[in-house]
Amino acid sequence: MNKITLVSIIVLAVALAIYTYYTVITFGPVQGYIGDEVWYPTAAYNILKFIFHVQPPMYFPYSNEQNIQTYINPEHPPLGKYFMDIFILLLGYKPIAWRIPSWIMGDLTVIVSFLLTRKLVGNDLWGNVAGLVSAALIMLSPNIWVIHGIAILDVYVGFFSLLAMYLLLSDNKLLWASVALGLAFASKESAFPLLLPFLFYVGELRKSPIQRAVYGIGIPAATFAIVSIPIMVYFGSLDAWFHNSFLYMLGWDATNGHIALSAVTQISTPWDWFLDVHPFYLGYNFYASTNPLIMWLWVATTPIAFVLKDTKLITLTMAAWTMWIAFVAVYFLGNHTLFSFYVTDFAPILNTYIAASIFKLIKNIDLKNVVKNGK
């Protein structure tokens, strides 16, 4: 390990320790359901109770939502709730138990962002600085900050989507990339659009149509299905799960009903996210704000990938754009109850792309100057 890499890792570790500390002291003391925590931890507990037939002690009451005592959240995939279940089993049902896995996912997102950026730019001074900038953008993202602090599903899809891109763009880790993509699918259906950029880059690695289908579709679908087996068992058959969970999920996403249409200050469209219009209020003075500067910087830097003709950068930015475009499509299909915290689903990718593209461009210009001066 060279000195530049060592120093970068030390700086990252210190920054991450500070980030974790502020996460714990900010979200740990809140003894109540924050935002959509009224749904997911309770569903996680019910999965333990009704599917795995395990009933850890409840040190905190159910939320007050209708039918919450039997609710398993069939309109979303189960992976995030499984992670909550691990800590509910260890600590009992209470806020810190269901939030700890989100904190871990937040920290891992920072690390993967650093690694991916360094891989794209190079393991040199430029690459390590770019990696630290990328990690800083993740840690300073207001949307990621608040969502990683609480127990909702978007932090899981954000992490596994970024992990899938990191493994995919590592070239020699295609199998694990496919598994990670399946885990992103199993975290929340907002990851489904990643299939398109994933298939695009798999086509760069595997010319065989069969191999592209296996790695791009087969393995992710199988991973999603394996994670969903307990839910299938709960519904009694594959067909029942397909109709009562999978199809129900797709229908749920394309219709209103996530909140009353009259709650206009809570609702924001995908284009509102570029101006931080109506950041979602989560309670306890927490808002899922976006950063317009970063959102517009993403727009401004997207052409860099095409100017450099860098397939990896193109894949990365298009992964984020594909997820955003999917939310636009959902809006026009009829779901006008979208929220600002959905940005966390693709924010790790776009923040990583911004740092990687800018530093890759700077490095490219610097190398050209060196060559020119050398001549």
Residue-level pLDDT at 366: 65
Q: Tokens 């992490």 sit at which residue? A: 159
Low-confidence ranges of the chain (pLDDT < 50): 375
Q: What is the pLDDT of residue 206?
A: 85
Write down the H helix ranges in the chain.
3-27, 40-46, 79-91, 95-121, 125-140, 142-148, 154-168, 174-187, 195-205, 209-213, 219-235, 238-241, 247-253, 292-307, 311-333, 347-374
User: For position 347, what pLDDT does the model report?
Assistant: 97
For 365, residues 6+ apart whose C-beta sits below 8 A from its C-beta are none
Q: Is the dihedral of CA 335, 336, 338, 340 positive or negative?
A: positive
Structural domain harbouring 285 = 3-374
Count: domains in the chain: 1
